[in-house]
Structure 1
């Protein structure tokens, strides 16, 4: 590769050969690939070079670049196994963008810098975390043999386009553990997302995970790339619960919370009462609402909903809860906005849970416009019921 890059017009000559359609001497499937550049002049690495990774490992972004070296002998090619050294159990993935410099230069103006780039490639910089911390120099944990996966291709700048718009994604044994797009979105909105450490992700049986707070209510949202798939499907024992339906919160600053949920988090509005309440859905979830927010004196969790499979689940739950001495705080009844038949009750901690059956569904292509709804008792229950004081009273947001 260095010979090709040092050759006058080397990359253009290679492209021309491809355009002419010369038959390959060997099949790619029969090859074992080396690193993209096997004998680089130097491998300069920038530590903590983007905020998402700094958050992931629990450190601050440095004010000035932190530079270390990796040696060429530590590299391997595409689809070759990364090797954990015997001296450590703290071997970690680290997806990176490799930039290959093709044209020499010094004192280069920022505007001219990309003109010296021959191309870009993928790099999994396997890192031995405990050896990184043996001293102030982290290179000890970055240079074990077989820990730097480089490739498979060198992609030239004309093929990449705007490098700043590309997405870095890393998969570990088929599970996505890094993905920058959504994280960057929240960063661009000034919301300071925080990565969940690997050990906690493992305990949660999730892939890469981060959390971000809605600023007005203080509610924390958790986003994960993948979650473990159970061998046996869920089997109901009492109510035939189909899915977690929705979450409803009360917010002391309704308008600010509502605007953030729409503009920062991307919810779509199904129905609303101006300044008082909004039913929101997550695209492409078709159900009338997967989240809702109402004006309240304090920020708090109002209730969590479980959608059941049969209307008989509602009727059986009424008798089962009464027989068990569980307080029914509202219902059974029917909501005007969604059309759902509902039943609210208190769990052992006093938090409000809801069973519901039936709900309006939206086609996102040509979905109806959000309706501005009238306030009134019938809006909550078309059957004329009223909630008890325990309804939505005990939850908090911390």
Structure 2
């Protein structure tokens, strides 16, 4: 048996074993009550996908409810009501809010089957010695729980979140209208503010994310600079919003989008030609035959790391089921599935056995697609010979400008962001 066959076989056996070994009390309780526990998972549209829910239910033998929503909506729900969820899925920039609100509980590393396989990006913040660490909150700074209940990069036996999906974000552009640029050379965040695309630009409506897209654009255009973009001062926030609100009042921005489907509709309809984007939106547009390119800006990417958090109110059988679901996410199949919309998993080698050689080469190695590749919706999203913009997993994460971050001025930026949206 070769390594690939072994991993694929062991992954299938591991998924089946989750029910019998990871959930012994749950299994006994289910035999007594003949009822399956139900996990409530709150998060965003990009990971709470129906095929994932169905596959997890099938493998784990439990009921799972997905409750996707917009970034601000789900964060507010999780930060104010621990009874509203058992597991929470979003970005690492939400951790400060949830930890301070005390609505999530520590995760015991000893209960995580694949912890040792999780790579250095998640645990140290750098995927290689050559990597730019990126400004702001690298996820490892929020990962390990310390004796004084603070969060840091110093390893401990408990963590605030399970590291799983992650990616680097930039902007997408319709290359049938916007001239194609050169990755890491001419593609620039400054394009978001180019006069040529006035009225045809959109920004993600998420204050802790969109603010960095706009800051990177403003700095790239030479309109202002920051002492530390990852933790802007009030004066810098004021200057930034003075610039972008003036642009919005002059009609530069078409508007903001609140979900991936919304971003797809904006570009598919021709209302925008260039906008903040997430990878699934780019994949969906290419599947529709719209030549959307996901830029590799010369200034670097805005990076994010997915977090899976355990509600403070999740105990007993539900807690066992929650740990089983977290372990399932790193068991191979989910990472392979999510790769087809351009996302990475924190233990990629286990998912490799569930991907074709062509998929692995394209999504992780940055090589030309050897055959047509389908996205998570089953439609062809990658044509033969295509190369992923930005290159390999390693190359992309070696070029981080800033991580999604909740800054010290976060509450102040919320007010300014509302002014921008309503301007």
TM range (shorter): under 0.3
TM-score (norm: length of structure 1): 0.19
The structure that has the greater radius of gyration is 1
Structure showing the higher helix proportion among its residues: 2
Higher RCO structure, 1 or 2 (CA under 8 Å, sep 6+): 2
Structure showing the higher strand proportion among its residues: 1
TM-score (norm: length of structure 2): 0.18
